[in-house]
Amino acid sequence: MDYVKPIDMVANMAESGAIRAKLSISDMLVRGMMAGALLGIATSLAVTGAVQTGVAFAGAIVFPVGFVMIVSLGLELVTGNYAILAVASFAKKCTWAEVNRNWFWGFIGNLIGSVLYALLLVIALTNTWHLAVAPGTIAQRIIDIAQLKTTGYEPFGAAGLLSCFIKGMLCNWMVCLGVTMSMMSTSTLGKLFGAWLPIFIFFAQGFEHAVVNMFLIPAGMMLGAKVTLADWWLWNQIPVTLGNLAGGLLFIAVPWFLTFHPASGAKAPEGDLDVGASSVPTN
């Protein structure tokens, strides 16, 4: 009985995007920082689970806890907003200038929150850099992942960049699907399960997520990974972010809008849009 039809779900997306497009810069930054930190926490939990159990699949099972918290709290995750705000703009509920404004400040907020959590975790893992990184530990695994996600692509040149971009597209197809499926139920349990399933799929297959990497790569660098700032941005952050954007637009926003056509006057059910309406300017 709590099922929301896809046509109503897309209308909800458009309404949610219209609200998010008008958030203040401070709201976007704070909510973006919280989202980045929560995703970093979920990522470190996933790494911990994989290291402690010796089963990489265990990390994929627990990782979505961060995403479902972000969705439940109405925070700003730029990768999910690549689809939500695009649908709102297609439905003429906001302008592309407002969309780009949200994407920019959401990205900055996610970056700040992710790096801050990376710093705190590194301090906790090393007793403020007083403990050496030992083989087989969580810290060593973070170093290995950071190098794999950056300099691991470098030997392949343009092919490595393309692979990174495609992994970003595939990742955000699932992330944006998680956002939309969380809107296909009016119950808390239904929303959580709808959000969990696609996120599990992307993480289990090792696809590339821009905000996850905002935590993993800086954390690895702080722990001693042989990765420079240029390596981080050239071989991962830029191509992954562009891939995430392309995936959210091409695989979710465009087909969802074309097939379900949210009307400009459609209104989502009460209670589904509490993502900051009180912060929307009235003038």
Report whether pLDDT(283) > 60.
no
Q: How confident is the model at residue 263 (pLDDT cuts 50, 70, 90)?
A: low
Of residues 283 and 235, more confidence is placed in 235
Report whether pLDDT(275) > 70.
no
Residue-range domain boundaries for the chain: 6-261
What is the rounded CA–CA span in Å between residue 234 and residue 214? 13
What is the rounded CA–CA span in Å between residue 8 and residue 64? 25
What is the rounded CA–CA span in Å between residue 82 and residue 251? 11
What is the rounded CA–CA span in Å between residue 130 and residue 236? 29
Question: pLDDT of 105-133, one tens digit each?
Answer: 999 999 999 999 999 999 999 999 999 99
Q: How confident is the model at residue 162 (pLDDT cuts 50, 70, 90)?
A: very high
Q: How confident is the model at residue 1 (pLDDT cuts 50, 70, 90)?
A: low
For 69, half-sphere exposure in the C-beta direction (CA atoms, 13 angstrom radius) is 16
Q: How confident is the model at residue 282 (pLDDT cuts 50, 70, 90)?
A: very low
Question: pLDDT of 206-228, one tens digit each?
Answer: 999 999 999 999 999 999 999 99
> So what's the pLDDT on residue 103?
98
Q: What is the mean pLDDT of the chain?
A: 92
What is the pTM for the complete model shown? 0.91
Distances 194 to 20, 24, 267 between C-alpha atoms, Å: 21, 29, 21
> So what's the pLDDT on residue 264?
52
Report whether pLDDT(269) > 70.
no
The CATH number of 6-261 is 1.20.1080.10
Question: pLDDT of 35-84, one tens digit each?
Answer: 999 999 999 999 999 999 999 999 999 999 999 999 999 999 999 999 99
> So what's the pLDDT on residue 262?
77
Q: Tell me if 115 sits within 8 A of 215, measured CB to CB.
A: yes
Mapped onto helix, strand or coil, the DSSP state of residue 202 is: helix
Report whether pLDDT(10) > 60.
yes
Q: Which region among 22-26, 181-185, 209-213 has the lowest average model confidence (pLDDT)?
A: 181-185
Report whether pLDDT(166) > 90.
yes
The structure tokens listed for 268 are 């989502």
> So what's the pLDDT on residue 270?
39
Q: Which region among 143-147, 168-172, 192-196 has the lowest average model confidence (pLDDT)?
A: 192-196
> So what's the pLDDT on residue 88?
97
